[in-house]
């Protein structure tokens, strides 16, 4: 019977694996001691009085301190991330298929802890970090779903970055002007990108040459007005216009901006969103392949392997509408493109275009 995992603060020691913060590695007594020491060093560094602003410092002193320490802190983060040991689930030795399934169960428990500690929302790896090697140990489907929900709600990126989806300052001004004239496509697009009134004003202030907040009607108000017209005067020309406007207002094409406003075609997602989701999907798919290879080593019964994978990763069949075998044959990159495209509602080729264009610039 597996020894129950022991948790002490941000350290968890299981029978086969141990986890400190977002570091997840195979368990040995030496590994547990090393992780405890690493955690102490990180905590000590973060509490160092010489590395944090004090209440007595003036704003300009604080700014200079942050600017001076920024590159140093970033370098330390990259070093800490890349210092993680490289390992594979197949490195763990078991004596039976029963123990193999216990290893998978323990890994899934600990990877949830590591993913929560890492927090992709706050700590997206930079290009210098070897995330393709280590990301599978601190990623879960639940973390990806959480970000997707924020993307759909308009909370994932700050308004300043979401404004890039409009295009140039001239295109932004044209879109706000169209919304001010109650044009349904512009109203839907602005509300999709900036759900709150405050966000709309922040973007307008940054992009429009005006000292007044622009008038931007909400889809709900316009829809109510057009419904009244269509219902009360069904045979009038105004009613026909109202019905057409309603169709445009609630169309996917309007919200996602598939028609440009005087410039380049708009994209439904900022490239930063696509990149992050793709990175997480790549890490998730590598994790799935790691578990699949481990089960193949320790579980001779193919049907039991499939059942175990299906129970551990139900989203593959539910979301991707495919079996594990053909999905895994796509490889980490192929799986990630399909997975990210499905979640974002765009084609895998569009995901690849964004990813490859960013990689060529980095």
Q: Which tens digits make up the pLDDT trace of 153-177? A: 777 777 666 777 787 778 888 888 8
Same domain assignment for residues 41 and 60: yes
Dihedral sign for Cα 96, 100, 106, 107, please: positive
- Kindly report the backbone phi and psi dihedral angles of residue 12, in degrees, each rounded to the nearest multiple of 5, phi listed first: -125, 125
- Give the integer Cα–Cα distance in Å for 92 and 346: 38
C-alpha distance from residue 173 to each of 84, 170, 281 (Å): 48, 5, 36
230 & 338 share domain:
no
Confidence of residue 62 (pLDDT cuts 50, 70, 90): very low
pLDDT of residue 359: 62
Domain count, the chain: 2
Confidence of residue 327 (pLDDT cuts 50, 70, 90): confident
> Does 131 lie in the same domain as 11?
yes
**Rounded to 5 degrees, what angle do the CA atoms 335, 333, 282 make?**
75
pLDDT of residue 264: 45
Residue 266 has pLDDT above 80, yes or no: no
Pair 147, 283 in one domain: yes
CA pair distance 315, 322, nearest whole angstrom: 10
Asked whether residue 132 falls in the same domain as residue 18, the answer is yes
Average pLDDT over residues 266-272: 73
| pLDDT tens-digit map of 3-31 | 556 665 567 888 999 988 889 999 876 67
- Contact of 254 with 188, CB cutoff 8 Å: yes
Please check whether residue 219 lies inside any domain of the structure. Answer: yes
In this structure, the answer to whether residues 66 and 90 fall within a common structural domain is yes
Q: Is the pLDDT of residue 121 over 80?
A: yes
For residue 95, being part of any structural domain is answered with: yes
Q: Which helix (H) or strand (E) holds 361?
A: helix 348-361
Which pTM was predicted? 0.70
- Go through 279-294 and write b for each residue having 16 or more CB atoms within 10 A of its CB, e for each that does not: bbbbbbbbbbbbbbeb
Inside any domain, residue 1: no
* pLDDT score, position 85: 87
Same domain, 319 and 249: no
- The DSSP letter of residue 16 is S
In the chain, beta strands by DSSP E: 6-8, 11-13, 17-20, 23-26
> Are 57 and 109 in a shared domain?
yes
Residues 189 and 210 in one domain: yes
pLDDT band at 122 (very low <50, low <70, confident <90, very high): confident
Range of the domain at 17: 6-151+272-361
> Does residue 13 sit in the same domain as residue 132?
yes
Q: Which of 51-60, 114-123, 338-347 has the lowest mean pLDDT?
A: 51-60
Tell me how far CA of residue 328 lies from CA of 52, 95, 104, 160, 347, in angstroms. Answer: 46, 26, 18, 38, 19
Q: Residue 274: pLDDT band by 50, 70, 90 thresholds? A: very high
Domain boundary among 269, 302, 320: 269
Residue where one domain finishes, among candidates 237, 269, 301: 269
Report CA-CA distances (Å) from 342 to 145, 176, 252, 276, 351.
Answer: 12, 31, 16, 14, 10
Query: Do 239 and 124 have their domain in common?
Result: no
Residue 131 and residue 127: Cα distance in Å, rounded? 8
Report d(CA 169, CA 52) in Å as an integer: 38
Tell me if 293 is assigned to some domain.
yes
Same domain, 133 and 173: no
At residue 212, the pLDDT reads 60
Mean pLDDT of the chain: 81
Tokens of 19: 């986890």
Mean pLDDT in residue range 195-224: 79
Between 260 and 117, the higher pLDDT residue: 117
Domain end residue (candidates: 248, 269, 290):
269
């Amino acid at each position: 019977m597996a020894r129950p995992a022991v948790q002490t603060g941000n350290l968890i020691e299981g029978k086969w694996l141990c986890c400190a913060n977002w570091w997840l590695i195979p368990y040995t007594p030496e590994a547990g001691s090393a992780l405890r020491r690493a955690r102490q060093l990180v905590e000590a560094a973060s509490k160092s009085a010489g590395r944090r602003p004090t209440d007595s410092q003036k704003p300009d002193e604080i700014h200079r301190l942050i600017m001076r320490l920024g590159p140093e802190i970033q370098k330390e983060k990259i070093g800490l991330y890349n210092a993680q040991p490289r390992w594979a689930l197949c490195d763990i030795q078991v004596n039976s298929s029963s123990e193999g399934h216990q290893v998978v169960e323990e890994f899934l428990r600990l990877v949830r802890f590591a993913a929560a500690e890492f927090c992709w929302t706050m700590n997206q790896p930079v290009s210098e970090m070897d995330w393709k090697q280590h990301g599978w140990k601190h990623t879960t489907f639940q973390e990806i779903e959480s970000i997707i929900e924020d993307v759909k709600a308009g909370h994932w990126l700050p308004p300043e970055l979401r404004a890039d989806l409009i295009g140039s300052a001239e295109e932004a001004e044209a879109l706000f002007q169209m919304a001010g004239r109650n044009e349904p496509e512009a109203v839907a697009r602005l509300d999709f990108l900036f759900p709150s009134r405050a966000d709309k004003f922040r973007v307008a202030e940054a992009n429009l040459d005006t000292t007044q907040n622009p008038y931007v009607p909400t889809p709900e108000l316009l829809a109510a007005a057009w419904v009244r017209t269509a219902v009360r005067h069904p045979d009038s020309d105004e009613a026909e216009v109202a019905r057409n406007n309603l169709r445009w207002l609630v169309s996917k094409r309007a919200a996602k901006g598939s028609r440009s406003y005087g410039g380049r075609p708009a994209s439904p997602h900022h490239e930063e969103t696509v990149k992050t989701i793709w990175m997480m999907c790549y890490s998730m798919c590598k994790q799935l392949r790691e578990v699949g290879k481990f089960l193949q080593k320790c579980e001779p019964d193919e049907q039991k392997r499939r059942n175990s994978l299906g129970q551990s990763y139900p989203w593959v069949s539910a979301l991707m509408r495919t079996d594990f075998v053909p999905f895994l044959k796509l490889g980490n990159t192929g799986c990630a493109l399909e997975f990210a495209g499905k979640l974002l509602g765009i084609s895998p080729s569009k995901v690849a275009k964004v990813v490859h264009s960013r990689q060529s610039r980095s």
